[in-house]
Structure 1
Amino acid sequence: MINLLKKSYVLLCLVMIMVVVTACGSNQANQPSSTNQAEATAISTEAPAENVDLTISAAASLTDALKEIETQFKVIHPNVKLNFNFGASGALQKQIESGAPADLFLSAASKNMKSLVDAKLIAEDSQTNLLSNGLVLVTSKTSKTQLATVNDLLNADVKTIAIGIPESVPAGSYTKEALEQAKLWDSLQTKVVQAKDVRQVLQYVETGNADAGFVYKTDALTSDKVNIVLTVDPATYTPITYPIGIVTATKHLPESKQFYDYLQTAEAMAVFEKFGFSKP
């Protein structure tokens, strides 16, 4: 009887030991490895993309197209805020040369981009020709002035002609070239009213402060207050190209490159073409 009790006791002890060992093994199997723990920690503590503000100095004639493209870009890169500085390309160039903050530069003339590349403010391999445009002559829709050729600008009923300042506004420089080719530049000087950028030229014509004005085709298409009375012969002025470049001093190179690349996509180009631009 005593031996039976001893055997029972030993058997009970063995069963209890087996239960404990099994439980410990099961618990260890359920614990993540140190590698898995590290991975889990890395995933849970990964910081969201940092919010970045980009400053884009762009020709005034790009205003409407870039505002629409901004909406598309924001969907893909919600952490990047685009701040546009629109103006005359020459004025924007001088701002960058003076150290004004800018991450990208979109010019309405190759000469402004070339000046910044020559000054090492934009790298040669960080710029490219993005778009092209055309020059047109417009009058107000309420105007009764008849203009069939640029020579008609000499007519007495044309008293004021708006153009961009040739030294700083590419559209003004192209206009001067075309009028010099037609041998009209000197003869029209008493009628010329200069504007700070091409959008101001358009405004002068819309409001009747100028009888006619030279603007880009794309600007004329944005207004329901002007008529395109003639397209200036492209052979009379330097081809209008819009280069884009990343400013060397940018503190946000990855994000600047993202927008630089996006503007060259089919999606962005479709918007530009909707506003009258074309590929170079």
Structure 2
Amino acid sequence: MKRRWIPGCFAALLAFAATAALAASDDPSYGIIAKHKANSAVRISDEGHRIVYGSPKTPVAVEAFYPLRAGGEGHEWVFEYGYNLVTAFPDKVRFVAYDIATPRGGEVWQERGLTCGAFLINGKREVTVNGKKLSFLRSTTMSGWTFAQLKAAVAAEIARPRPARAAAPKKPARPAKQTVIHVTVPCGLAGPYGEIVHLFRARHPEIRVTTAANGIVAMLNQLRDNKMTSDVFIALGLRELDDPAAQKRLVSGSITPIATIPLALVVPKANPAGIHNLEDLTSPKARTVLTYTPNLSGGYGARQALQEAGLWDRINSKIVTPKVPDQCKQMLKTGKGQAAIIYSTCLKESYLPDKPPVIEKDLKVAQMIPQNLYSPVVIGGAVVKTSKHPAAAKTFIDFLRSEAAMKVWLDWGFTRLPGA
């Protein structure tokens, strides 16, 4: 009996371990963290919403805020940068990577006053190195900074004299009774969304909004797989919510149109292929045309526009649709495409809430896509079925389409709903 049970039990354990390993392997960050643990004596602790490298007693803390493991898209490099900093400055630097796609990680991200991915050095969003002001926002490709600059900024912070630590200021008291709602929002809406949340808090002190930001593809995967812990889900387009698997996770009748996002034909600043309008995409110089996948509203609209313009059959072989929407900009900036049909608002984004929006300097709009060529791309908000506070969630969604909020949407290049 025992001889049969032991091998059977061992086989079951092996099967369980294999299943766990397979689940972990689906998330590249697990492999990165495991590699770092195996290759050095750096202390690494995983707290779910954040991963900490190094000792808590170090004089310099480097914090990173990105959607990491909860559906995060292509941010393994964040762990590599953090690991390289900790090993370059042993006993001087600790690295804390916050997963802003988790409720607690998103809350800390908001507390730091951020609206996009960023590295902070001892809480500073902007540092001066050799007389030059630097901010380490988004990625090296998207924002033009380098790891060498980040490392130099950390070295300067280590060398900086430290005054005696002052007592931490007291946080303002919160209302005695406050309903907390959690909102999941696409990174592409972070700029206007952040401003609107500030307006909402002033008008509804009884409701506290916490936020998790992520890529729309990862968000949809979480929603379909019933892993969404938010009260409110905001989508870049209503088409994203047409999927029955997504709809069954949302409160029936709660999907609310908010504003629209224009599509544009975008090219590199120098525009070496000489593309000025949709017709120019038929030129042999336009070898690769980037856009979103057709299951997303923007990608569907791009295909509609090309079909309505009578160009689809002539250029569809040139179309490339990266898995992650933000890669359209990255590929265009690095010469892997000659043009892209993407949201025009992608060229005006927020990195820091107390700074003006950053206007994309390497790309430009060649042509706004005529609205009569495609169905409007409508931002939608909905209440998640698992919400514990559906009434407060609905109050927030209604505010997103209020006139006060609409002024913010318009300032950021979004447009009113058709007929509004």
| TM-score greater than 0.5 by the shorter chain | yes
Classify 1:119/1:245 alpha carbon distance in 2 versus 1 (closer, same or farther; 3 Å). closer
Q: How far, CA to CA, are the matches of 1:177 and 1:154 in structure 2? A: 16
2:319 aligned residue? 192
- Is the Cα contact below 8 Å between 2:256 and 2:397 reproduced in 1? no
Q: How far, CA to CA, are the matches of 1:79 and 1:225 in structure 2? A: 40
Classify 1:138/1:106 alpha carbon distance in 2 versus 1 (closer, same or farther; 3 Å). same
Q: How far, CA to CA, are the matches of 1:100 and 1:257 in structure 2? A: 21
1:175 aligned residue? 302
* Structure 1 counterpart of 2:338, from 211, 218, 231: 211
1:262 aligned residue? 399
Q: Which runs of 5+ in 2 are unaligned?
A: 1-174, 350-359
Shift, 1:107, TM fit: 2.0
- SS for the counterpart of 2:320 is strand
User: Per-residue displacement from partner, 1:24-60 (whole Å, max 9, x unpaired)?
Assistant: xxxxxxxxxxxxxxxxxxxxxxx9225735032x344
Higher RCO (CA-CA < 8 Å; seq separation 6+): 1
Q: How far, CA to CA, are the matches of 2:237 and 2:331 in structure 1? A: 23
Structure 2 counterpart of 1:245, which letter?
Answer: A
1:83 aligned residue? 211
Structure 1 counterpart of 2:223, which letter?
Answer: I
1:70 aligned residue? 197
**Does residue 103 of the first structure (1) align with residue 240 of the second (2)?**
no
* Structure 1 counterpart of 2:275, from 123, 144, 147: 147
| Matched residues, number | 231
Q: How far, CA to CA, are the matches of 2:206 and 2:324 in structure 1? A: 31
Q: How far, CA to CA, are the matches of 2:263 and 2:213 in structure 1? A: 23
Q: How far, CA to CA, are the matches of 1:200 and 1:77 in structure 2? A: 38
User: Per-residue displacement from partner, 1:85-132 (whole Å, max 9, x unpaired)?
Assistant: 3323x6533421221223212223223334459944333442221111
- SS for the counterpart of 1:67 is helix
Q: How far, CA to CA, are the matches of 1:241 and 1:108 in structure 2? A: 7
Shift, 1:197, TM fit: 4.4
Shift, 1:264, TM fit: 2.3
Q: How far, CA to CA, are the matches of 1:116 and 1:259 in structure 2? A: 24
- Is the Cα contact below 8 Å between 2:265 and 2:277 reproduced in 1? no
Please tell me the root mean square deviation across aligned C-alpha atoms, in Å: 2.7
- SS for the counterpart of 1:55 is strand
Structure 1 counterpart of 2:191, which letter?
Answer: D
- Is the Cα contact below 8 Å between 1:61 and 1:198 reproduced in 2? no
Classify 1:99/1:68 alpha carbon distance in 2 versus 1 (closer, same or farther; 3 Å). same
Structure 1 counterpart of 2:236, which letter?
Answer: A
- Once the two structures are superposed, the pairs formed by residues 113-132 of structure 1 within 5 Å of their partners are 113-115=241-243, 119-132=247-260
How does the TM-score come out when normalised to structure 1? 0.71
- Segment drifting more, 115-124 vs 214-223: 115-124
- Once the two structures are superposed, the pairs formed by residues 215-230 of structure 1 within 5 Å of their partners are 215-222=342-349, 223-230=360-367
Shift, 1:135, TM fit: 1.1
1:239 aligned residue? 376
Structure 1 counterpart of 2:402, which letter?
Answer: T
- SS for the counterpart of 1:171 is helix
Structure 1 counterpart of 2:176, which letter?
Answer: P
Q: How far, CA to CA, are the matches of 1:173 and 1:86 in structure 2? A: 21
Q: Which runs of 5+ in 1 are unaligned?
A: 1-46
Larger Rg: 1
Q: How far, CA to CA, are the matches of 2:367 and 2:401 in structure 1? A: 30
**Does residue 92 of the first structure (1) align with residue 233 of the second (2)?**
no
* Structure 2 counterpart of 1:54, from 162, 182, 188: 182
Classify 1:164/1:119 alpha carbon distance in 2 versus 1 (closer, same or farther; 3 Å). closer
Shift, 1:186, TM fit: 4.0
User: Per-residue displacement from partner, 1:131-160 (whole Å, max 9, x unpaired)?
Assistant: 112211011113233223312112122222
Higher helix share: 1
How does the TM-score come out when normalised to structure 2? 0.49
Shift, 1:263, TM fit: 1.1
- Is the Cα contact below 8 Å between 1:202 and 1:220 reproduced in 2? no
Q: How far, CA to CA, are the matches of 1:235 and 1:50 in structure 2? A: 45
